[in-house]
Structure 1
Amino acid sequence: MGLFKKNKPDSNNVGSLKIFFTTDLHGSEIAFRKFLNAALMTKSDVLIIGGDLAGKALVPIIDIGQGKFKVQDKIVGREGLEEIIKNFKATGIYYTIVDEKGYNELNENQKVLEEEFKRAIIGRLEEWSKIAQEKLKNTNLIIYTNLGNDDPLYMFDVIKQSERLVKCEGDVVNLNGYEMITFGYVNPTPWNTPREMKEEEIYTTLKTMVSKIDKPEKTIFNLHAPPYGTNLDNAPLLDNTLKPVVRNGEIVMTHVGSTAIRKIMEEVQPLIGIHGHIHESRAFDKVGKTTVINPGSEYNIGILHAAYIVLENDKVKLHQFVIG
């Protein structure tokens, strides 16, 4: 990787570490750009994306000829199309430009649709890699990049080929004396997403990862799912049709985090846990002595949610949310 090193942050302060963390960007290019800009403004040593980079929707754009395009029942010219594409990228929506025949294939052939979705996901992530390379070109900074439960595994192939995005799941990464373990799978959800595990499997996997840590009290747990029963894992209670339960005019909330992650954190008591997954549950809390943080997400309206964290003398000196 040339001058970029996986185990050495861009910092001259031994024992001090400035972390800029975000998660659940779900394809939003504007949120990704804001993340890079804010990380540079805060002069952070380490940049981390905690998972769920992939977007959730693919919109076909039909080329109807003569410089006209049909987008969701709206006819636009090339200038109008450029504005729509800009908005799609900002809010995490993928798009594909097809003719009428291609549109029919997407509707009628599930395999064709899946391949087009894959192409769009890979293409957007490759664009982000180029954006990061340009934005960070005058620094030694890299971005420790994890996949979340919504991310297909082939995204790791793009990350491995990037100069600035670095795969960290499954490794113990040394960050200026602080160790970090990373894990992107979550406990089962109602949506059966690509990367889910039973709680007992999560616990066994994390137990193995923890066995490779030298100093648990100096460890960063970069785990996509939040620990169960904290301020970080509040989400709407769903009924059998997956609609939020409403009582007395208010949505009923419930805890949906991982009991296995809660258990391993109580046993190990790492220095800090950085999490995501539950977009509406931006918060910090404590699990025993461990500070845990979920910056939340509003990727769909192009707003960055992140956390700026300063570790110093084996303690969490500062943590604050960054929103913009």
Structure 2
Amino acid sequence: MGLFKRKQPEGVDNKKSQLKILFTSDLHASDVAFRKFLNVGKMIKADVMIIGGDLAGKALIPIIDIGNGKYEVDSTQVGKEGLETVIKQIKANGNYYVIVDKKEYDEMVQDKRKVDEAFKNAIQERLKEWIQLAEERYKDTKIPIYFNLGNDDPMYMFDIVPEESIFKRTEGFIIPIGDLEMISYGYVNPTPWNTYREKNEEEIYKDLKEIMNKVSDPSKVILNTHAPPYGTNLDNAPLLDKNLKPVVKGGDIVMTHVGSQSVRKIIEEYKPLMGVHGHIHESKAFDKVAGTLVFNPGSEYSAGVFHGLYILVEGNKIKAHQFITG
């Protein structure tokens, strides 16, 4: 890739013997899940907070202004009083909204470019809201919130994050965290949905190998890849048929491994201190690959449930780890 640079530590005491890390992933624009993430960070007195990709939501819901203070949402009419409740619920579920009149709605139905533009505006606005909220909640601390984009995140999300923000971009940098270094990589192996950021296994392996060859000590690396390693407890997902429907046998959904073989190969070769991953929402778990502990906190963003991972590091060893759900 040729882009990776070493950054100076931000807000982390390198002399501190203990390091409290809070990791989450796949928030998918859920306001409730993100607010809980901020709350947990303060509750556990985290030194470092990490979002491992997929900040963007997946749906844009039109709210049609039909006049006289009335709005139509999914064939249901609400007044101005009910509109605020509707918007709050949309945001809690990890969705976006756009308020349009009937003419604008009809134009969007006929022109996909207008939908794409509205989607882009909504994604950027939600991320700006999150950054502002984080700045307000953490203005008296020096705790950085590191983030990388996942496969469902368009690259333009990087463009709206100010350099001086509490949100710190990790992709493209080797981030010193205490005595450790973190590298982040948001691309995933191909999926059936052809999402924004996918690469074949050969490209993923080449990219990750180049990054790992630049770190000071692989055994002191936090490997933050959105895709989990293949063939572990972290990458179980429903097997899909040609119509992208889950395969069911004997009344049970058939599961299969869908993680990255390249991520697994990199872990086996370099043996980093830990791997923190996401992407596969239903595979909340930890496992070991070649002696390296790997984690996926899972995700239930649409239900407003927060899934996180607390990791306590002493020196260059993982002293404790705990999944947090609520």
Q: What TM-score, normalized to structure 2?
A: 0.96
What residue number does 1:306 align with? Answer: 308
Q: Which residue of 1 aligns with 2:101?
A: 99
RMSD: 1.2
Task: Identify the residue that residue 192 of structure 1 maps to in structure 2.
Answer: 194
Identity %: 58
Whether the aligned pair in 2 keeps the contact of 1:232 and 1:294 (CA below 8 Å) is yes
Looking at structure 1, the residues matched to 232 and 17 of structure 2 have their Cα atoms a distance apart, in angstroms, of 29
Match of 1:90 in 2: 92
> Of 182, 185, 192, which aligns to 2:184?
182
Letter in 2 for 1:59: I
2:282 equivalent in structure 1: 280
1:145 to 138, 144, 147: 147
**Residue 116 of structure 1: SS of its match in structure 2?**
helix
On the 8 A contact 1:160/1:167 being kept in 2, the answer is no
Residues 165-207 of structure 1 deviation map (CA, whole Å, 9 limit, x = unaligned): 1111121100011010000000000000000000000000000
CA contact (8 A) 2:179 2:316 kept: no
Corresponding residue SS for 1:243: coil
Preserved CA contact (<8 Å) 2:179 2:315: no
Q: Distance in 1 between matches of 2:15 and 2:309?
A: 20
How big is each residue's C-alpha offset from its partner over 1:66-111, in whole Å with a ceiling of 9 and x where there is no partner? 1100001000001111101000111111000000011001111010
Segments ≥4 residues shifted beyond 3 Å: 8-13
Distance 2:55 2:48 in 1: 18
* Counterpart for residue 61 of structure 1: 63
Partners in 1 of 2:162 and 2:52 — Cα distance?
16
Which residue of the partner structure matches residue 234 of structure 1?
A: 236
Unmatched runs of 5 consecutive residues or more in structure 1: none
1:159: Cα distance to partner?
A: 2.4
Aligned-partner SS, 1:149: coil
- The amino acid across from 1:27 in the alignment is A
Q: Partners of 2:51 and 2:96 in 1: how far apart? A: 20
- Tell me: CA distance 1:25–1:248, structure 2 relative to 1, closer, same or farther (3 Å): same
Q: What is the aligned counterpart of 2:131 among 129, 132, 137?
A: 129
Deviations 1:214-259 (A, max 9, x none): 1111110010000000000000000000000000000000000000
Aligned to 2:210: 208
Length, aligned pairs only = 320
> 2: CA distance between counterparts of 1:81 and 1:60?
12
The alpha-carbon distance between structure 1 residues 111 and 162, as it changes in their structure 2 partners (threshold 3 A), is: farther
Deviations 1:42-74 (A, max 9, x none): 001000000000000000000011110000100
Q: Which amino acid in 2 is paired with 1:56?
A: K
